[in-house]
Structures are given as structure tokens and as C-alpha cells.
């Protein structure tokens, strides 16, 4: 069995160096491909060079300080924002190079020079607008999403609130968690599903913020499954803390709710990488009542690829992990790894399994949302008409 604290330390030690190299390469690309030739004036070029250096250093600082409990929130926000600036400017540089393929077809040199400048300025202005919008969208409170789902075999309506990918730690501090708890309780849900990546920092750094979750209220219980990010921290202590709140911790376990439905929870696929708290479908579905509808809680939507007989009789899968892509066009890359990145879907199998993928209640990395939203979902589960 791999030692989880050692694994987390190893990952946290290596990741900043790899990330730093990537960010250095990205900033060289951004300056060479886009910023350098925005103006022929030496002073303007110098200012763009200073901007590039400052943003690169800020990104590297974020990587090394991301798990520190001593960084002020304002500084942490600015460092996090620099990550988003990098992603947007890299996409802007790539977009300009795509446009250049068309521009080089123009006949005269003066026309090419004129349109190159116009294109660069237009793309830069568009990038700044998107940056402001994305930051506003990431900072505002989560949307409440209502989803109505008919479950075969369900004999009474049930309301379930879904929180996923809160990523407590960093910018998701005590006041933000308190707001999320308040909004969730106002839904008067019968049960609450916590679909992983709830905690994304060492427990000692986020103890007060995490304790806000004790105030969640649901008559039929609160159910938690592991996400991949919990594995990078003191996962055992996180599980113990959440269990002490009275939550149902479903690590390859199931729970039968008053002869109404089965709730199955499975550990995240990260467990296979680290050889600890590994997902085990056999254990998760052991002794469930086959006559009741079944809800499967799993952090990653690709769990559906493992639902083979006799474990394919699942009525609803609830997942998160994807953040809805968080910043477009990364949603396109996410689709290479996951079958769905948001909303409700129906599988073409014998049981017409429904799959709901939350876009996440918080965010990871840059405090931005572009082409996605953070959400608290209320699943209204009803008997078939």
C-alpha cells in the first residue's frame, strides 16, 4: 500500500517545477506571437515585456504558495487571476496566428501590415473583455439549478441537493463556504450529495472553513464521496472530520433509505493511481436491494464505462469533476477524458440510466468561469407518471 502523505508530498514538490516550466514557455509564446509587435514604440514594447515577466513570476509564485495558509486573500486572488490571464492570452496568441494564415493571402505588404495590426488590437480588446466577464462570472455566487427526474420504482418524491468541486482552500474560504451552506439549506432538500473535491488543502489550513459544512441540514442525511483532489492531502483526516459531522461517508459502500432507494458511493479513480482507497464496484454494490431504484454517486462521469452487468441496473448517476470545462475551450479537451461535462443525459442501455454532471460549486485555479457556471443543483426525483 502506498503511503498517502508521502505521495501527496511528492506530488506537491514536483508539480510546481513542472508547472513553472510550462508557464515560462507559455509566456515566451505569448510575447513573441502577440505582444511584441503590438507597437513599434520601444517604451510600449518595454511595458509589454514587463507585463509578461510580472505575470509569469506571479504564476510561478502561485504554484509554490497555493497550499500556504499565510498568503493574504487579496494576494492569493491576484496570483490566481494571473493563471487565467495566461490561459486567455495564450488562446489570443493562437487565435491571432490562425488569423495570420488568412492575412498572408492579401496581395500588398501594406495591406498585410495594416490587417495584422487591426487583428492584434481587436483580439487584445476581446481578450480583456472576456477577462473581465470571466472574473465577474467566477466571483459571483453559485446559480441554483433545478432538475426534475423520473425514477422507475420510486414511490415518493425526494429532493436532493448536489454540491460538487467546492475546492475548500485558497479563495474558497470560510465566508464563501458559509454562503454555499446558507443557499443549500434554503432549498429544504431531503438529502444532500457531496460529490467529491469538497476539500482541496491540508485539513489544518481549512479547519474553520470546513466546519461550516456542519451547518448543512437535510432530514434524510448528507452523503459524501471522494474526489481526486482529496487524495493529494491528508485524506484520512478529511474523511474522519466529515464523518464526525454525521455525514454518510460512502467509500465503496451503499445505504438504503427507508425502503425507498439505494444510494451507492464509490471511491475516485485516483485511488488506482496511488494504490489506496481504490474504487471497488463489487464492494460498492454489495447487498443492495434489487427491487429499489439505485442512485450512484461517483466523482467522475466516466464511471459509466464500468457499469457492466450485474452492476448496470443504475437509475441515476450523479457526478462532478469537470467544472463544465470552467474556461472555454478547455471544455473541448475535457470531452476527450469524460463522456459528459455538464447537465442531464440518458444512456442508451436497458435501464435508460440518467447521468447528471454538476459543473461544480466552486472553481480550481483561476477564479474565472467562461462558458460554464458554478452551481448548486436541486434534483427533484419523482415517481414515473
Please state, rounded to an integer, the average pLDDT across all residues of the chain.
89
CATH architecture for segment(s) 143-382: 4-Layer Sandwich (3.60)
CB 344 within 8 Å of CB 354: yes
CB 222 within 8 Å of CB 246: yes
State what percent of residues in the chain have pLDDT above 90: 55
Kindly indicate the confidence band of residue 6, based on its pLDDT and cuts at 50, 70 and 90: low
- For 53-100, the pLDDT digits (tens) are 999 999 999 888 877 767 788 888 899 999 999 999 999 999 999 998
164 φ, ψ (degrees, to nearest 5): -140, 150
Kindly indicate the confidence band of residue 355, based on its pLDDT and cuts at 50, 70 and 90: very high
- The stretches of 219-357 forming alpha helices (DSSP H) are 235-244, 270-274, 281-284, 330-334
Residue that wins the pLDDT comparison between 85 and 350: 85
pLDDT at 309 over 60: yes
- 3 state DSSP class of 371: coil
- Joined grid coordinates for residue 151: 425514477
CB 322 within 8 Å of CB 342: yes
Instruction: Check residue 2 and give its pLDDT.
Output: 47
DSSP string, 162-188: EE----BBTTB-HHHHHHHHHHHHTT-
Kindly indicate the confidence band of residue 1, based on its pLDDT and cuts at 50, 70 and 90: very low
Question: Distance between CA atoms of 132 and 178, rounded to whole angstroms?
Answer: 26
pLDDT at 261 over 90: yes
pLDDT at 149 over 80: yes
Confidence (pTM): 0.88
Instruction: Check residue 170 and give its pLDDT.
Output: 79
Instruction: Check residue 4 and give its pLDDT.
Output: 56
- For 165-192, the pLDDT digits (tens) are 999 987 788 899 999 999 999 999 999 9
- Hey, where are the domains in the chain? 4-139, 143-382
Residue that wins the pLDDT comparison between 152 and 350: 152
pLDDT at 298 over 90: yes
Kindly indicate the confidence band of residue 10, based on its pLDDT and cuts at 50, 70 and 90: low
Within 8 A by CB and 6+ apart from 39, the residues are 45, 48
Is it true that the peptide bond before 330 is cis, omega within 30 degrees of 0? Answer: no
Closest CA relative to residue 230, chosen from 320, 109, 151? 320
Amino acid at each position: 500500500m502506498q503511503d498517502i502523505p508521502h505521495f501527496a508530498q511528492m506530488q506537491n514538490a514536483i508539480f510546481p517545477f513542472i508547472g513553472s516550466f510550462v508557464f515560462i514557455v507559455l509566456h515566451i509564446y505569448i510575447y513573441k506571437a502577440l505582444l511584441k509587435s503590438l507597437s513599434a514604440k520601444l517604451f510600449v514594447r518595454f511595458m509589454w515585456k514587463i507585463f509578461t515577466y510580472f505575470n509569469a513570476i506571479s504564476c510561478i509564485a502561485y504554484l509554490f504558495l497555493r497550499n500556504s495558509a499565510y498568503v493574504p486573500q487579496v494576494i492569493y486572488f491576484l496570483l490566481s487571476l494571473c493563471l487565467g490571464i495566461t490561459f486567455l492570452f495564450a488562446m489570443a496568441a493562437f487565435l491571432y496566428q490562425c488569423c495570420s494564415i488568412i492575412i498572408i493571402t492579401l496581395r500588398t505588404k501594406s495591406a498585410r501590415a495594416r490587417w495584422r495590426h487591426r487583428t492584434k488590437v481587436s483580439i487584445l480588446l476581446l481578450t480583456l473583455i472576456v477577462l473581465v466577464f470571466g472574473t465577474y462570472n467566477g466571483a459571483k455566487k453559485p446559480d441554483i439549478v433545478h432538475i426534475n427526474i423520473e425514477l422507475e420504482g420510486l414511490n415518493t418524491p425526494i429532493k436532493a441537493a448536489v454540491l460538487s468541486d467546492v475546492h475548500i482552500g485558497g479563495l474558497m474560504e470560510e465566508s464563501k463556504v458559509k454562503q454555499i451552506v446558507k443557499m443549500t439549506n434554503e432549498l429544504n432538500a431531503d438529502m444532500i450529495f457531496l460529490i467529491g473535491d469538497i476539500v482541496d488543502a491540508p485539513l489544518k489550513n481549512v479547519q474553520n472553513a470546513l466546519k461550516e459544512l456542519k451547518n448543512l441540514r437535510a432530514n434524510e442525511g448528507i452523503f459524501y464521496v471522494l474526489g481526486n483532489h482529496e487524495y493529494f492531502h491528508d485524506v484520512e483526516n478529511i474523511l474522519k472530520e466529515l464523518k464526525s459531522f454525521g455525514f454518510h461517508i460512502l467509500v465503496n459502500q451503499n445505504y438504503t433509505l427507508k425502503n425507498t432507494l439505494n444510494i451507492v458511493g464509490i471511491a475516485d479513480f485516483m485511488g488506482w493511481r496511488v494504490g489506496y482507497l481504490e474504487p471497488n464496484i463489487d464492494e460498492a454494490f454489495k447487498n443492495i436491494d434489487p427491487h429499489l431504484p439505485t442512485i450512484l454517486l461517483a466523482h467522475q462521469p466516466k464511471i459509466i464505462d464500468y457499469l457492466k452487468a450485474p452492476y448496470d441496473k443504475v437509475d441515476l448517476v450523479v457526478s462532478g469533476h469537470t467544472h463544465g470545462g470552467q474556461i472555454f475551450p478547455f471544455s473541448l479537451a475535457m470531452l476527450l477524458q469524460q463522456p459528459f461535462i455538464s447537465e442531464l443525459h440518458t444512456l442508451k442501455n436497458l435501464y435508460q440510466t440518467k447521468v447528471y454532471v454538476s459543473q461544480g460549486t466552486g472553481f480550481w485555479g483561476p477564479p474565472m468561469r467562461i462558458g460554464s457556471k458554478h452551481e448548486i443543483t436541486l434534483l427533484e426525483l419523482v415517481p414515473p407518471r
